[in-house]
Amino acid sequence: MQIKPTRMELLKIKKKLKLAEKGHKLLKEKRDALVMEFFKVLRGIKDVRQELADKMMVAQAALYKAQAMQGQPDVERFALGVKSGSNVNFRSRNVMGVRLPEVKDVRVDNQWFGYFESTVALDNAIVKFRESVPTLMRLAEKQLALRRLGEEISKTKRKVNSLEYLIMPRFEKAKQMISFKLEELERENFTRLKKIKAKQAA
């Protein structure tokens, strides 16, 4: 694209460069804030995973005990008749324009009125697994938030790099080129005027 070396064009280029610099600064701030939130969520995931692992270990031990006492076929048959007994409500929060999911409320009915043939061990196993549901939902919330943050960080980084390495250097180069051409034209005009005055004085 041919750029006209005029003062008007120089003003336009300077305005565009200033706008690009402002956008670059804001995008860098957004990227840094998102990265901080990313690592905050990542640390939270580590804690929730450990909490879930502990609860699942207890629940699994209770299930093994139930299988030993009642037999696996019976346990599997009862499992097919167990209703979910849970209700999850989500909301979202805004972090630098990114909508992140947040578990508002998890309601789990830990009471299970089993079949008359079921054992106390099986009832206990079902209760233990249901007690892990809120933690499982919190983990899902954080993992989804982490994915959305990661995607937005990647997009923001691409925009920052595009401004920093392509757009801003192009505007800077155009500004320097126009400035050089204008200075050259001023020198030529000055020389021409000197010659005209010299001829007039002769």
Output the pLDDT for position 169. 96
Output the pLDDT for position 103. 87
The total number of residues shown for the chain amounts to: 202
Output the pLDDT for position 85. 67
Output the pLDDT for position 136. 93
Class of domain 26-156: mainly alpha
Output the pLDDT for position 123. 83
Long-range contacts: 114-121, Cβ < 8 Å, 24+?
114/78, 115/78, 115/81, 117/74, 118/70, 118/78, 119/66, 119/69, 119/70, 121/62, 121/65, 121/66, 121/68, 121/69, 121/70
Low-confidence ranges of the chain (pLDDT < 70): 1-2, 81-85, 110-117, 202
Output the pLDDT for position 117. 65
Question: Hey, what are 162's tokens?
Answer: 């595009």
Q: Report which of 84, 85, 68, 67 is spatially closest to residue 76, judged by C-alpha positions.
A: 67
Output the pLDDT for position 197. 78
Which sequence spans correspond to the domains of the chain? 26-156
Output the pLDDT for position 165. 96
Residue 106's beta-bridge partner residues?
88
**pTM of structure:** 0.78
